Amino acid sequence: MASPTTAAATLRVLTHDCMVEGCDASVLLASTAFNKAERDADINLSLPGDAFDLVVRLKTALELECPGIVSCADILVVATRNLIVMVGGPFYDVRLGRKDGLVSEALRVDGNIAMTTMSLSQIISLFAAKGFTLQEMVALTGGHTIGFSHCKEFAHRLFNFSKTSPTDPLLEPTFARGLMKLCANYTQKPEIAAFNDVMTPGKFDNIYFKNLQRGLGLLSTDMMLATDPKTKPIVDLYAENQRAFFDDFAHAMEKMSVLGVKTGNKGEVRHRCDQLNNMQT
């Protein structure tokens, strides 16, 4: 359960949950014959199954002990925090009492989740609309210190990048050649992936930011952080000072974990995380 990939998976699922309709476990709901849920939106199809499995196991155990008390939203937030700590990241306080959302629609996802095809200005605007500062946005992106990305997310940097350069010149050349070899058949094998942090992929640390400075960033949106004058000073600070990164990441996670929280009759405590209570017989 405490594997780095599970930690990264759960962090990603939490982020995709909170950025759409708030932290209400709406991303955990399954689609029905009458509704295409958030988890089936195109950008969410690659969300890792082990995060969903973990929440289901925790919910099942809690329902046996105290049925109808702990929401799926609270479980996802606490599990993410604990897994981050288990792989070396900072502890931060988590407030409890969220209700699970009553709405989950795939069409509400677009425009709320950062995509690798976006410009930095678009990503900054997206986070600002949720109330995040530039510093908090960069700190949250540091969550890429664990986890991996599929080749399709960065293949445009490796093959036919421009008329003057087949690969993105911001990529360190040896790193670029290794990725080209890894992803050579990615269109036939879409499951091929690379670690976001090639140096310490299993540890939550600030090496991710040091990698960006050296051209070892996988995603173009991440590399932009190290080159744009608005964000480069923050990347440089975190590369130099892990404590500063941890403190800012912890603060930003506390802030994200209370986005759009549902309470009272705005939500419910689901018996099953993938179904609304009124859908169960």
Q: 3-class DSSP state for residue 45? A: coil
* Spatial separation of the C-alpha atoms in residues 53 and 62, rounded to whole Å: 14
As a whole number of angstroms, the distance between CA 276 and CA 270 comes to 6
How many angstroms separate the CA atoms of 26 and 226, rounded? 33
5, 50 contact by CB (below 8 A): yes
CB 193 within 8 A of CB 150: yes
Alpha helix (H) ranges present in 87-214?
120-129, 134-141, 173-182, 207-213
Does the active-site annotation cover 16? yes
Residues 100 and 277: their CA atoms lie apart, in Å, by 10
Q: Is the dihedral of CA 195, 212, 81, 20 positive or negative?
A: negative
Q: Annotated catalytic sites, by residue?
A: 16
